[in-house]
A and B are shown apart, each in its own frame.
Chain A
Amino acid sequence: MKKPWLVVTVTGVAALTTLALAGSRYGGAPPSPPAPVVAQPIAFSHSTHAGQFRIDCQYCHFSAERSVAAGIPPVSSCMGCHAVIQGRNAPEEVRKLREHWQRGEAVSWVQVYKVADHVRFPHMRHVAAHAGNLDCRVCHGAVEEMEVIQKVAQPLSMGWCVSCHRDEGASDGCSVCHY
């Protein structure tokens, strides 16, 4: 009995194997897809805040040193300054922020950096002085130069994580991140 599907599969696997042999090695960063520039509900400029005014990342992302989550600033944090600062560069955007504050409504930011659901990424183990003491830019890029936050060269892939873990002597056991 002929099995045409078997022939097709075998050919396919052979072709893919050839492709894979030519492909990049495990551990190297694979080419990233072009990062889409996402529109945020308020055109918050990281370059103005982190670049021009040199506000520390953790002034707004308040829990990065003590929690798995870096923390998205509450509206009240923004209003701490913008209650008095009109925002010369973008008064329209500050007005939107104030409206949120008046309505008592959270700003629904679009998530840009996300690891998969089965990955546990503890910020504090990477950021805090006693732990990783990494510069935020290692993973997030030169945020202080970005008008709109976007994912840059980092693929957030496992190979990318593991290569750094190996270089830094951190554990590369599966259950460090997957549980």
Chain B
Amino acid sequence: MADGIERRDFLRVMGAGGAGAAMFGCSDQRVQKLLPYVIPDEEITPGVATWYASVCHECPAGCGTWVRTREGRVVRVEGNSHHPLSGGALCSRGYSSVQGLYNPDRLKEPQVRDGGEFRSISWEEGEALLARRLRKGENHLFLTGRLGLAMRNLADDFLAAVGGNRVEHETLSEAPLREATRIAFGRPFLPTFDFAHARVVYSFGADFLETWLSPVEYQRGFARMARVDAHGSKGKMVFLAPRLSLTGQNSDEWVPLRPGSEALVALAMAHVIVGSSGGDAGPYERVLESYDPEYAAEASGVSAGDIESLALQFLRDAPSLAVGPGVAGHHRNATAANLAVHILNAVTGNVGRTVRLRHVDQGAPARPFGEMRSAISVMDRTDVVMVHETNPAYSLPPAAGFREAFAAAGFRVSFATTMDETTHLCDLVLPDRHALESWGDSNPRPGLWAIQQPAMQPVPHFKARQTGDVLLSVAARVGRDLGSPTFFDYLQRQWRGIRVAAAPGEDFDSFWLETLRKGYVELPRPVREESLPLRSPDTALSFEAPSLDGDGDFVLVVYPSSRFGDGKQANRPWLQELPDPVSKVTWHSWVEMNPRAADRLGLRDGDLVRVRSPYGQVELPTWRYPGIREDTVAVAMGGGHQEYGRFAGGRGVNPMRLLPAEVEQPSGTLVKLATRVVLEPTGGRRGLATTQGSPRQYGRPIAPAVGLAALMPHERGVGATAGVEVGRGQEERARPQAFPQEGGRFDQYDQETNPRWAMAIDLDRCTGCSICITACQSENNVPWVGEEQVVMGRAMHWMRMERYYETVDASSAGPLDIRFLPMLCQHCGNAPCEPVCPVYAAHHTPEGLNAQVYNRCVGTRYCANNCPYKVRVLNWYDFGDVAEPLNWAFNPDVTVRGGGVMEKCSFCVQRIRDVQNRARLESQRPVEDGEVVPACLQSCPAEAIVFGNLRDPHSRVAQVIQDQRSYRVLDVLLDTQPAVTYLKKVTFHEVDSG
């Protein structure tokens, strides 16, 4: 400064004068201890991360993971980038598994029911008690979720030794698809689907981007299909269902057919295709004759002309792919509906091309709810009922009578990690270890096996034992030694068999170590996929729309939550605060209703309404959603836990309470689309804890799109347009690689040697799945704030998934065109936040990063007020103080910010530094393009994000932003010169505004 006093000196003297103590610089005078190892672990270098390959345990998809540990503690889970399913990505549930591991509500030790209360006991007592009860009877029951290969075999061995049956209960079972595949092709298993090579996908309500079968893999395939290729064509998705799920929101055309009429529409399409191409319907030829488009039109509400043109498009744009219906469409004729979709695929010639029928042993029961219902009916005559990895007291409709039957069983034992609803009813609780501390395996695909290896020693807060070890020990106690002292030994014995198939020439030890290192083992895929003809049905099926119970005005759709599945992941604050990708609501449940229907009932957003079916009633706040039919309402699964811990307990409602306990006959699955409901406004209100401000853009150029026809043909495709003059002059001036601007505030920085970090996000690939938000939260120690604070607009995510409704025509009454925009700090070259900071905490680095220096920040919030993108968030109340041991999940490479400090996206600067440090250590080589991988990019299954150095003209990001679709948000209006370039979404309809 001019008068010779520096700000820093002034502050220092102020501090000294104020505190009256001689505190200098940053040194910390507190006494801290340094505890070295007694004997060092060979795999651990302090300060350097160790990675272990494993497999995700959150859903049956079985994505391969890499688990990052520091000093022996798990700090993060990421997708294994070599794994054929995850390909480096993972879903929000997978990323949140560290919050399952360090969940403060995990069971601390074995407990036994003593009177009405649980009393802690030792493992010795617990195992002895179980052995005693098992010896007393011989008719036992083991209720499990979907288990890994070895664990399933062990459970069966155990039951063979002690006497009894095993029943698998999985709410989200796709049994109707499995049964339909058996009926159609004689193969009783789930097919796999090749989305990437389809040119057109028809989803009859299969939510393959969120929950259906293998969402990470299918999302990658879908994004590849839907991009504009070098020939200027783009894959198309049509969504045929009463409600737009996230998958539906990504479709190019929505056909809002009546609930339950999928089979008729699919068969009518097959009818048209057979008539037009002579496709072979085999034994279904006669059936197809009677299902013409006129008949389907009457039942579905879709016009016969539309059905016909959809069918012809499906035939023309081969290879095509039809999928569904998924869990939300499991009605009384769900198997028939899946069969109809198989027939549609078969007559179009998709079987063996996009629908693959190689055998896979997913170990699911033939009749998931059917078996459970039989088990319930005999439970009072059962001696010991054991429960592992399933929670039927929560996930079954009360009408199933599980709680009553369970109470009548002789003795109830739970092997759970957390006190859930079923465990709460048990007599003995033997806490299981979390998957990240346990051995296991999975076989999610034919010829693909993966080992789940423990990535750390058990979290010391919990005296848990792996259930496999407990079963072996208890079997020995009842005098039935199963031949293995530990589950690890049992697992290895099983893998000796897999070794024979997977690596015939190798010795077991090297095979085992190599598989552990890699995380999986895969047989080479056959060159040709099998195409099977349709077989005559051996079961009586009805393709008609199913009957629905009750006489309300609305059909109830109950769908699996993309955040919680059927509720298993509900006690994780990251997921509770993750805005639902469709509704953007956090922390509680809602009922989705078409605005016109809501208007008739006089309901605004947040007005409470009683939803009443013949089987029960719940009270929910309204969320008005144009993506649902007027005669339909929808509620997500996963809420309404009574037990299950502090983050889930008492939050939201469980829609299963509205359903009958009915079996869909051919497949044995629980019927979920079964009832009509009556809506009764209660007059009460509850503010929606939503993170979406305005649902529309109101003409602002935030998430513009471009029509496919308007793309210049010779420039279609990413990166094909280098050097071409683009856009308006205004945009040209603000090119991000021009940083620092001449005469700007940053021109003192050296242009040559410093990188200019920049990002490009392709909105044509982004599906709005919001996985990046959880990945960012996990990487950057982003705190959660709770429902009350979210309502006040204080959610702290560094990334926000904005969702805007547009319409395909100007009347705003036409079909929806839904746009997504991942919004993060734009790292502006001319950042409005920087000049307003009184303490230089918002600061531009020579690398073009807009850095936030936490220790300078005094929390004036001027920067957030001046940020046009609203990406700066203030930590109001020390939200980083979390319950032990959730703090173990913090990334040690990122500061945990205190209260009163502003924070925001840093472009994962810790990863940039890590790469720079490593590059420097390895012979001073430069950082290579693509080497710095921010957490959001790493997590994106759709491969929508590119990151790199703009000053390097050969970097991928520099090439991608040359695309004719590129734009920068609000730059035209504000001259902020962002480092984040977006590529416009490409639509099939014309877009006038650009």
Closest to A108 in B: B33
Q: Are B920 and A125 in contact (CB under 8 A)?
A: yes
Known: A33-B24, A156-B25, A175-B909. A104 touches B920 (CB 8 A): no
Q: Are A63 and B47 in contact (CB under 8 A)?
A: yes
**Alpha-carbon gap, A72 to B47, bound state (A):** 12
Q: Are B920 and A33 in contact (CB under 8 A)?
A: no
B34 at the interface (CB under 8 A from A): yes
Known: A19-B13, A122-B913, A179-B913. A104 touches B38 (CB 8 A): yes
B211 to chain A, nearest CB (A): 35
B925 to chain A, nearest CB (A): 9
Q: Are A111 and B853 in contact (CB under 8 A)?
A: no
Chain B positions 906 through 920: 1 when the CB is less than 8 Å from some CB of chain A, otherwise 0: 100110010001001
**Alpha-carbon gap, A20 to B39, bound state (A):** 51
B843 at the interface (CB under 8 A from A): yes
B910 to chain A, nearest CB (A): 6
List residues of B (826-877) whose CB comes within 8 Å of A's CBs: 843, 845-847, 849, 851, 853-856
Known: A20-B9, A67-B46, A179-B910. A173 touches B25 (CB 8 A): no
- Partner of A120 from B6, B35, B913 at Cβ < 8 Å: B913
B10 at the interface (CB under 8 A from A): yes
- How many interface contacts (CB-CB < 8 Å) are there between A and B? 182
A10 to chain B, nearest CB (A): 14
B539 at the interface (CB under 8 A from A): no
B26 at the interface (CB under 8 A from A): yes
The segment from A22-30, A50-58, A84-92, A135-143 found at the interface with B is A22-30
Chain A positions 28 through 52: 1 when the CB is less than 8 Å from some CB of chain B, otherwise 0: 0011110000100000000000000
B725 at the interface (CB under 8 A from A): no
Q: Are A110 and B36 in contact (CB under 8 A)?
A: no
- Partner of B14 from A16, A69, A117 at Cβ < 8 Å: A16
Chain B positions 287 through 321: 1 when the CB is less than 8 Å from some CB of chain A, otherwise 0: 00000000000000000000000000000000000
Q: Are A116 and B27 in contact (CB under 8 A)?
A: yes
B8 at the interface (CB under 8 A from A): yes
Known: A74-B40, A116-B27, A157-B26. A178 touches B13 (CB 8 A): no
List residues of B (1-59) whose CB comes within 8 Å of A's CBs: 4-6, 8-10, 12-14, 17, 22, 24-28, 31-40, 45-48
B894 at the interface (CB under 8 A from A): yes
Closest to B36 in A: A72
B697 at the interface (CB under 8 A from A): no
Write out the residue numbers on chain A whose beta carbons fall within 8 Å of the beta carbon of B851.
173-175, 178-179
Write out the residue numbers on chain B whose beta carbons fall within 8 Å of the beta carbon of A16.
10, 13-14, 17
A168 to chain B, nearest CB (A): 14
A118 to chain B, nearest CB (A): 4
Write out the residue numbers on chain A whose beta carbons fall within 8 Å of the beta carbon of B46.
63, 67, 69, 71-72
Write out the residue numbers on chain A whose beta carbons fall within 8 Å of the beta carbon of B895.
117-118, 178-179
Write out the residue numbers on chain A whose beta carbons fall within 8 Å of the beta carbon of B9.
20, 23-26
Known: A25-B6, A74-B39, A110-B33. A179 touches B894 (CB 8 A): yes
Q: Are A117 and B28 in contact (CB under 8 A)?
A: yes
Closest to B841 in A: A174
**Alpha-carbon gap, A74 to B913, bound state (A):** 28
B813 at the interface (CB under 8 A from A): no
Q: Are B6 and A26 in contact (CB under 8 A)?
A: yes
Q: Are A175 and B845 in contact (CB under 8 A)?
A: yes
A106 at the interface (CB under 8 A from B): yes
- Partner of A67 from B26, B27, B48, B894 at Cβ < 8 Å: B48
A31 to chain B, nearest CB (A): 8
Q: Are B913 and A157 in contact (CB under 8 A)?
A: no
Closest to B30 in A: A114
A164 at the interface (CB under 8 A from B): no
Write out the residue numbers on chain B whose beta carbons fall within 8 Å of the beta carbon of A76.
37-40
B86 to chain A, nearest CB (A): 28
A68 at the interface (CB under 8 A from B): yes
Q: Are A155 and B25 in contact (CB under 8 A)?
A: yes
A83 at the interface (CB under 8 A from B): no
B868 to chain A, nearest CB (A): 22
Known: A67-B46, A106-B37, A178-B854. A116 touches B6 (CB 8 A): no
Q: Are B38 and A74 in contact (CB under 8 A)?
A: yes
Known: A16-B13, A23-B9. A110 touches B921 (CB 8 A): no
Write out the residue numbers on chain A whose beta carbons fall within 8 Å of the beta carbon of B24.
30-33, 155, 157
Q: Are A173 and B846 in contact (CB under 8 A)?
A: yes
List residues of B (318-368) whose CB comes within 8 Å of A's CBs: none
A115 at the interface (CB under 8 A from B): yes
- Partner of B843 from A65, A107, A118, A174 at Cβ < 8 Å: A174
B510 at the interface (CB under 8 A from A): no
B924 at the interface (CB under 8 A from A): yes
A131 at the interface (CB under 8 A from B): yes
Closest to B844 in A: A173
**Alpha-carbon gap, A36 to B36, bound state (A):** 23
Write out the residue numbers on chain B whose beta carbons fall within 8 Å of the beta carbon of A157.
24-27
Residue from A68, A116, A174 with most neighbouring chain B CB atoms (10 Å): A174
B812 at the interface (CB under 8 A from A): no
Write out the residue numbers on chain A whose beta carbons fall within 8 Å of the beta carbon of B854.
118, 178
Q: Are A75 and B39 in contact (CB under 8 A)?
A: yes
B856 to chain A, nearest CB (A): 8
Residue from B22, B25, B39, B845 with most neighbouring chain A CB atoms (10 Å): B25
**Alpha-carbon gap, A123 to B48, bound state (A):** 12
- Partner of A68 from B22, B25, B26, B47 at Cβ < 8 Å: B47
Chain A positions 128 through 148: 1 when the CB is less than 8 Å from some CB of chain B, otherwise 0: 101100000000000000000
**Alpha-carbon gap, A179 to B849, bound state (A):** 12
**Alpha-carbon gap, A119 to B25, bound state (A):** 12
Write out the residue numbers on chain B whose beta carbons fall within 8 Å of the beta carbon of A107.
35-36
A138 to chain B, nearest CB (A): 17
B27 to chain A, nearest CB (A): 5
Given contacts A38-B31, A65-B921, A68-B47, 7 further A-B contacts (CB under 8 A): A33-B22, A66-B45, A75-B37, A105-B38, A106-B35, A115-B26, A155-B27
14 A-B residue pairs with Cβ-Cβ distance under 8 Å, sorted by A, are A16-B10, A17-B5, A24-B9, A63-B46, A72-B46, A110-B34, A111-B34, A118-B854, A128-B920, A157-B26, A158-B26, A175-B851, A178-B851, A179-B895
B residues with a Cβ closer than 8 A to A are 4-6, 8-10, 12-14, 17, 22, 24-28, 31-40, 45-48, 843, 845-847, 849, 851, 853-856, 893-895, 906, 909-910, 913, 917, 920-924
